[in-house]
């Protein structure tokens, strides 16, 4: 993987991580289109540059991360379902990451859901801050488990989970961002651990790719978060639904035309 390819993947990660379009799915597609060589480091890179997007949330909402211990306990309640699901289904998840067709199907079906989700789960209408109860946090965390299928989207699942619990679009999106911090941090640490345990080594070039990738992802994610909150509050999910249907439809069509797009 070249430095330019790493920057492009970081831009994709920064834009899509907090949009309901699946960052993992888009990086798999981007890697396949750029013909990036399939190896363990590339797979690790697509996970490890999430650290930059995690940092963007902490920087933008730093006051919320210092408000109370209860805030962290609620994040823990939302984080537990993903931990359990990850431990139980890791091998199946890794297998899905190898197939771009799975991403296309998930994007397409998710897009159809998005066309109607504003009607099915309109969310709350309270103007002030809405409390995240233990039940709400755990339920939203359970929704997050669906995002382990590439193409489904962590952001989409947790926001929809929040809407089903009566949160407004804004508050559901913000809690989705907060819940992504421990989830992505754990995934990054676990991926690095597995890489080293399996004999992977880090070169100076690898460190350079990590550094540049995380900086780019951090900057782009800050811009994406600020824009997304306003857009979602005003317009809902419908535009994202049509986008997912278009991208997923193209991938599915290419698959049946015999175009093979494999990653990892």
Q: Which two tokens stand for residue 109?
A: 């079906």
Do the beta carbons of residue 74 and residue 137 sit within 8 Å? Answer: yes
Chain segment 150-182, per-residue pLDDT in tens? 888 888 889 989 888 888 888 888 999 999 999
Chain segment 49-104, per-residue pLDDT in tens? 999 999 999 999 998 888 788 989 999 999 999 888 877 876 667 666 667 888 88
What is the reported pLDDT for 121? 75
Chain segment 192-203, per-residue pLDDT in tens? 998 999 888 899
Bridge partners (DSSP) of residue 262 are 99
d(CA 155, CA 147): 8
Query: DSSP labels for 135-194?
Result: HHHHHHHHHHGGGGSTTS-HHHHHHHHHHHTT--HHHHHHHHHHHHHHHHHHHHHHHHHH
Mean pLDDT, rounded, for 102-125: 84
What is the reported pLDDT for 146? 86
Q: Which two tokens stand for residue 123?
A: 């969310």
Q: What's the chain's average pLDDT? A: 86
What is the reported pLDDT for 99? 73
What is the reported pLDDT for 256? 87
What is the reported pLDDT for 140? 93
Please determine, for residue 122, whether its predicted confidence score (pLDDT) is greater than 80.
no
What is the reported pLDDT for 248? 92
What is the reported pLDDT for 264? 38
What is the reported pLDDT for 128? 53
Q: Write the CB contacts of 197 (distance below 8 Å, at least 6 apart in sequence).
A: none
Mean pLDDT, rounded, for 1-18: 93
d(CA 256, CA 251): 9
d(CA 28, CA 137): 29
d(CA 111, CA 115): 7
Chain segment 240-250, per-residue pLDDT in tens? 999 999 999 99
Mean pLDDT, rounded, for 249-260: 84
Mean pLDDT, rounded, for 119-138: 74
- Cβ density class 163-185: b for 16+ within 10 Å, e for less: bbbbbbbbbbbbbbbbbbbbbbe
Q: Is 158 exposed, middle or buried (0-12, 13-18, 19+ CB in 10 A)?
A: buried
Alpha carbon separation from 264 to 179, 218, 241, 259, 260 (Å, rounded): 27, 25, 27, 17, 13
Question: Which of 124-133, 170-179, 211-220: highest mean pLDDT?
Answer: 211-220
What is the reported pLDDT for 95? 67
């Amino acid at each position: 993987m070249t430095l330019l390819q790493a920057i492009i993947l970081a831009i994709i990660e920064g834009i899509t991580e907090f949009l309901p379009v699946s960052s993992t799915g888009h990086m798999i597609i981007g890697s396949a289109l750029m013909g990036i060589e399939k190896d363990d480091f590339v797979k690790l890179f697509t996970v490890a540059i999430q650290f930059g997007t995690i940092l963007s949330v902490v920087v933008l909402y730093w006051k919320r991360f210092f408000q109370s211990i209860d805030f962290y306990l609620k994040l823990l309640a939302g984080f537990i379902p993903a931990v359990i699901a990850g431990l139980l289904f890791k091998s199946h998840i890794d297998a899905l990451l190898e197939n771009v067709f799975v991403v296309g199907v998930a994007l397409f079906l998710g897009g159809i859901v998005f066309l109607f989700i504003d009607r099915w789960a309109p969310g709350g209408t309270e103007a002030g801050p809405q409390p995240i109860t233990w039940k709400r946090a755990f339920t939203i965390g359970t929704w997050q488990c669906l995002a382990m299928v590439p193409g489904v989207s962590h952001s989409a699942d947790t926001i929809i989970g929040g809407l089903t619990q009566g949160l407004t679009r804004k508050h559901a999106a913000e809690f989705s961002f907060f819940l992504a911090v421990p989830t992505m941090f754990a995934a990054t640490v676990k991926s690095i651990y597995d890489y080293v345990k399996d004999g992977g080594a880090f070169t100076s070039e690898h460190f350079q790719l990590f550094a540049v990738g995380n900086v780019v992802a951090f900057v782009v994610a800050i811009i994406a978060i600020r824009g997304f909150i306003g857009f979602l509050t005003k317009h809902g999910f419908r535009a994202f639904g049509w986008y997912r249907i278009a991208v997923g439809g193209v991938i599915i069509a290419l698959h049946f035309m015999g175009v093979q797009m494999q990653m990892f």
